[in-house]
Amino acid sequence: MRIEVVKSISIPDTRGRATVETTLRSNNFTATASVPSGKSTGAHEAKELRDEDGGVSGAIANVTGEIAEALATREFSSPQEIDSFLCELDGTQDKSRLGANAILSVSISATRLFAQEAGIPLWKYISETYSTTPSAPRFFVNVMNGGAHANFRLPIQEYILVVGEPTVAESFETTEKAFKLLGEKLRAESTELPMGDEGGYSPKFSEIERPFELLSELVLKYPNTSIAIDAAANELRNQSGGYTLIGKDYSTEELLEMYKSLVNKFPFHAIEDPFSEDDVAGFVATTKALGNQIIIIGDDLIVTNPKRIDDAVSKKSINAVLIKPNQIGTVSEAAEAVKKTHSAGWKTVCSHRSGETHDTFIADFAYGMGTHGIKAGGFGQQVRREKYERLQAIEKEITS
Residues with catalytic roles = 198, 324
Among 112, 353, 384, 385, binds ligand 2PG (CB under 6 A): 353
Residue 207 per-residue DSSP state: S
* Binding flags for Mg ion, 186-225, as an x/- string (CB under 5 A): ----------------------------------------
Asked if 354 touches ligand 2PG (CB under 6 A), the answer is yes
Do the beta carbons of residue 365 and residue 334 sit within 8 Å?
Answer: yes
Task: Look at residues 55, 64, 72 and name the one whose alpha carbon lies nearest to residue 98.
Answer: 64
Q: Which stretch binds ligand 2PG (CB under 6 A): 86-94, 250-258, 331-339, 347-355?
A: 347-355
CA-CA distance, 2 to 167, in Å (whole number)? 39
Residue 314 has, within 13 A of its CA and on its CB side, a CA count of 5
Q: Is 285 within 8 Å of 303 (Cβ atoms)?
A: no
350 is an interface residue for ligand 2PG by CB under 6 A: no
| Residue with smaller CB distance to ligand 2PG, 38 or 164 | 38
Residue 38: contacted member of ligand 2PG, Mg ion, none (CB under 5 to 8 Å, by partner type): ligand 2PG
Binding residues among 119-138 for Mg ion as defined by CB under 5 A: none
- Pick out residues in 223-252 that bind ligand 2PG (CB under 6 A): 230, 232
Q: Which stretch binds ligand 2PG (CB under 6 A): 21-29, 84-92, 259-267, 348-356?
A: 348-356
The strand pair at 4-12 and 268-272 is best described as unpaired
Rounded CA-CA distance 72/61 in Å is 16
Residues numbered 55-94 forming contacts with Mg ion, rule: CB under 5 A:
none
38 lies in the site for ligand 2PG, by CB under 6 A: yes
Establish if 299 lies at the interface with Mg ion (CB under 5 A): yes
**How many of the chain's residues bind ligand 2PG (CB under 6 A)?**
12
Per-position DSSP letters for 223-256, written without gaps between them: TTEEEEEE--GGGGB-TTSSEEETTEEE-HHHHH
Nearer to ligand 2PG, 60 or 228 (CB): 228
Under rule CB under 6 A, residue 48 binds ligand 2PG: no
Minimum gap (Å) between residue 34 Cβ and ligand 2PG: 15
Question: What contacts 115, CB < 8 A, 6 or more positions away?
Answer: 121, 122, 124, 125, 126
Which residue's Cβ lies closest to Mg ion?
299
**Shortest distance (Å) from residue 179 CB to ligand 2PG:** 16
Work out whether 45 is an interface residue with Mg ion (CB under 5 A). Answer: no
Determine if 39 is a binding residue for ligand 2PG (CB under 6 A): yes
User: In this chain, which of 351, 357, 371, 381 binds ligand 2PG, going by CB under 6 A?
Assistant: 351
* DSSP per-residue codes, 251-289: -HHHHHHHHHHHHHHS-EEEEE--S-TT-HHHHHHHHHH
Residue, CB closest to ligand 2PG? 38
Beta bridge partner(s), residue 295: 270
In the chain, which residue ranges form alpha helices assigned H by DSSP? 57-62, 68-71, 79-90, 100-118, 122-129, 168-189, 210-221, 252-265, 280-290, 306-315, 325-328, 331-343, 361-369, 382-399
Q: Does 299 bind ligand 2PG (CB under 6 A)?
A: yes
Residues contributing to the site for Mg ion (CB under 5 A): 230, 232, 299
